[in-house]
Amino acid sequence: MNILDAVGKKQSTQKERFEKVRTLVYPDSSDACVTLAAEVAEMVRSRQGEGKNVVLGLATGSTPVPFYRELIRLHKEEGLSLGNVITFNLDEYYGLPRDHPESYFRFMHDQLFDHVDIPAEQINIPDGTIAMDEVYEWCLGYEKQIEEAGGLDLQILGIGRTGHIGFNEPGSSQDSITRMITLDRVTRQDAAADFMGMANVPRSAITMGVGTILNARSIVLMAWGSNKAEIVQEAVEGEMNDRISASFLQDHSNSTFLVDSAASSRLTRFRHPWLVSSVEWGSAMKKRAVVWLSRSLNKPILKLVDEDYNECGAGELLASTSEAAYKVNIDVFNQVQHTISGWPGGKRDADDTNRPERSTPYPKKALILSPEPADAFLGMGGTIERLVEQGHEVVIAYQTSGNLRVADVAAHKFASVVLEMAEEDTEEGWKSQSDYAQEILRLLDDKGEFGIDPERVRSLKGLILRGESRAAADDCGVGYEAQQFLDLPFYEKGRYRRFQRTDEDSDAMRILLEAEQPDIIFATGEAGDPSSIQALSFKAFGEVWESLDQAEWRKNCSVWLYRGRDEAFESHEIDMAVPMSPDQIDGKGEAIRKFMSVNQEELGSPNRNREIAQQYDALGMAEYEAIEAFQRW
Ligand code: F6R
């Protein structure tokens, strides 16, 4: 089925019967974007043949980037002309000059318009620079322009974690039109990294309304990565209301959610497939169903009875295995129980039949991949400490420098300290340091509040972060000599939402893996938004890993996934649960606090570990203070 085929309002099939809007799932974002771009190209070409225009509504953010890249490729390599395309962008921050690196005007030019042949006069983007008292009139004018262009043929959307489309935050009504709005706190937090700190994120924006969007003849909302899974499920399967503006797409006669498998994972047909179809009851599916049953009834696994299975739609499980509840309960209870291990690197000289990790070799060489420096500590600070205590050789490889996260004040503080020290020195021995510090202060001054850091400043910020990483690793017992700073080039050469991986990144990963030849690897980012630092770093690792399939050491190396900044694993997804004592979880908090740039939500990461422990407790497992969770790759 084509993405842009007119389908009319959602007709439910059995499997998708909880979905109130058509949802197409692709293995990953690039498959989805290649298909969508081909269909848009087809529409553009066929209209060209008729001498007509195509009117596209466009979005910014990370989500549409792979779609824009594919359009550019079609233009450059396959001669697609976009000369008959008229565009209207959804939104723009209020108060940002158009040449600001984070303005949507600039973003759209960087990501699309500068590389294709849409005539400048056919490009329309809300103007964030107009005077406050002219905004109202301006917005009415924007609506009129869309109408005069013939209305939107296709509106492309992303979705925010608040469920917003455009910047229609919770409370936006179904018939709202283009207007000025106040940004939600969660939205501003998500934009904080782009703006080098939440304080710099604008508080308001101009956005098309929900009604403006719903007037488009067709709508495609894209979402990638596990962090979008929950909001996608709510928008697609939940009630339609103004709490989640994307839910209004349920009321449109030709709208489609286009998602990758990570973003689809909370839809009923994937999360609880037995509720909508008949399934193969392998041990993973059994575990998934019983854990869900236990959690939704708030009853420990071993207390579930036949009626519970029947009443909650899992009766088929008992029927298919012709076992009574207590047998299935015990089976799943043991499965979950066996995920718990205080020996993340395996237990020496122990029978490992039912342990997540092998006992040999012992000790192991463990390689921990941290996309940004804080990730490893957020996701597995306690486990790092355990691996060290249990005698394993632990190497932490920070894949990117993370320097974009370091605030100007930190660089300013460092340069000022150096300058003062130099001034106290009467012998002129500090001349070069003093020149350096002065240059940094000047560069910071010149770039202004929102400018792009020149290389020198980025490199100083990287050094500051190295200091913080060293301190955090020290808290977990890992010395400086066991830390590697890879500074992957995609990051050093890029900027948020504009990163592009090259062979240089893979080369760096290959050199690392071949030099270390670890017995066990911990990595993260496999389910992240594809343009996030975590996902790009994981891809750089994953591709090299695949290519090394003949290496002897690699055949005996296990790979575990952890979650640092991405959505936490659900209880049934956990293959190894490493319990932590109250002291250990406090220690983890200490390590995380070494990073000045972690935000409030990330500082709360030990609470995620407490929640996992509470979930295990509720399933009827032993009661621990906290748990760090891992999945086998
Ligand atoms: C962008 C826009 C927003 C984004 C949404 C998701 O023009 O209107 O609704 O689509 O915030 O952002 P990303 O794609 O960065 O996750």
Query: What spacing in Å lies between the alpha carbon of 156 and ligand 1's midpoint?
Result: 10
Residue 10's pLDDT is: 63
Query: Ligand 1 in contact with 210 (CB < 6 A)?
Result: no
Question: HSE (CB half, 13 Å, CA atoms) of 386?
Answer: 22
Residue 142's pLDDT is: 98
Confidence class of residue 540 from pLDDT cuts 50, 70 and 90? very high
Query: What spacing in Å lies between the alpha carbon of 161 and ligand 1's midpoint?
Result: 9
Angle between helices 104-111 and 65-78 (to 10 degrees): 40
Whether 494 has a pLDDT exceeding 90, the answer reads no
Residue 8's pLDDT is: 65
pLDDT in tens, 275-309: 998 899 999 999 999 999 999 999 999 999 999 99
Residue 219's pLDDT is: 97
Nearest CA residue ID for atom 12, ligand 1: 61
Query: What spacing in Å lies between the alpha carbon of 88 and ligand 1's midpoint?
Result: 15
Are the C-beta atoms of residues 91 and 158 closer than 8 Å to each other? no
Determine the residue of 58, 87, 88, 90 to mutate for testing ligand 1's pocket, defined as the one with the most ligand atoms within 8 A of the Cβ atom.
90
Region 22-31 average pLDDT: 95
Residue 558's pLDDT is: 97
If one counts every other C-beta atom within 10 angstroms of the C-beta of residue 239, the result is: 10
Query: What spacing in Å lies between the alpha carbon of 537 and ligand 1's midpoint?
Result: 22
Determine the residue of 164, 172, 187, 529 to mutate for testing ligand 1's pocket, defined as the one with the most ligand atoms within 8 A of the Cβ atom.
164
Whether 522 has a pLDDT exceeding 80, the answer reads yes
Residue 597's pLDDT is: 86
Confidence class of residue 449 from pLDDT cuts 50, 70 and 90? low
Query: Ligand 1 in contact with 227 (CB < 6 A)?
Result: no
Percentage of residues of the chain with pLDDT beyond 70: 98
Tokens of 383: 């486990």
Q: How far apart are CA 515 and CA 336, in angstroms?
A: 36
Q: How far apart are CA 332 and CA 30, in angstroms?
A: 37
Nearest CA residue ID for atom 2, ligand 1: 166
User: Any idea which residues carry the catalytic annotation?
Assistant: 169
Region 428-457 average pLDDT: 87
Query: Ligand 1 in contact with 164 (CB < 6 A)?
Result: yes
Q: From the CA of 158, give the closest atom in ligand 1.
A: 10
In the chain, what is the greatest distance between 2 CA atoms, to the nearest angstrom?
Answer: 88
Domains and CATH numbers, the chain: 19-269 (3.40.50.1360), 272-337 (no CATH), 365-405+461-632 (3.40.50.10320)
If one counts every other C-beta atom within 10 angstroms of the C-beta of residue 12, the result is: 11
Name which residue leads in pLDDT, 419 or 149: 149
Residue 127's pLDDT is: 96
Region 360-372 average pLDDT: 97
Q: How far apart are CA 40 and CA 506, in angstroms?
A: 33
Alpha-carbon Rg for the chain in angstroms: 26
Residue 463's pLDDT is: 96
Q: How far apart are CA 4 and CA 35, in angstroms?
A: 10
Residue 497's pLDDT is: 80
Helix (H) or strand (E) holding 394: strand 393-398
Nearest CA residue ID for atom 15, ligand 1: 61
Are the C-beta atoms of residues 93 and 192 closer than 8 Å to each other? no
Question: Exposure of 359 by Cβ count < 10 A (0-12 exposed, 13-18 middle, 19+ buried)?
Answer: middle
What is the DSSP secondary structure assignment for residue 513, as one 8-state letter?
Answer: H
Backbone angles phi, psi at 141, to 5 degrees: -60, -40
Residue 567's pLDDT is: 86
Q: From the CA of 164, give the closest atom in ligand 1.
A: 9
Region 532-557 average pLDDT: 96
In the block, tokens 């500082």 appear at 603
Angle between helices 375-389 and 605-619 (to 10 degrees): 60
Distance of CA 518 to the CA centre of its chain: 27
Are the C-beta atoms of residues 41 and 76 closer than 8 Å to each other? no
Region 177-181 average pLDDT: 97
Nearest to 268 by CA among 32, 12, 629, 574: 12
Q: How far is CA 310 from CA 201, 278, 300, 306, in A?
A: 51, 14, 17, 6
Q: How far apart are CA 193 and CA 211, in angstroms?
A: 30
Region 531-545 average pLDDT: 96
Q: Quick check: pTM over 0.85?
A: yes
Are the C-beta atoms of residues 381 and 586 closer than 8 Å to each other? no
Query: What spacing in Å lies between the alpha carbon of 386 and ligand 1's midpoint?
Result: 39
Query: Ligand 1 in contact with 68 (CB < 6 A)?
Result: no
Helix (H, G, I), strand (E, B) or coil at 155: strand
Tokens of 248: 């209004």
Query: What spacing in Å lies between the alpha carbon of 191 and ligand 1's midpoint?
Result: 10
Q: Mean of the per-residue pLDDT values for the chain?
A: 94
Whether 555 has a pLDDT exceeding 90, the answer reads yes
Query: Ligand 1 in contact with 167 (CB < 6 A)?
Result: yes
Query: Ligand 1 in contact with 61 (CB < 6 A)?
Result: yes
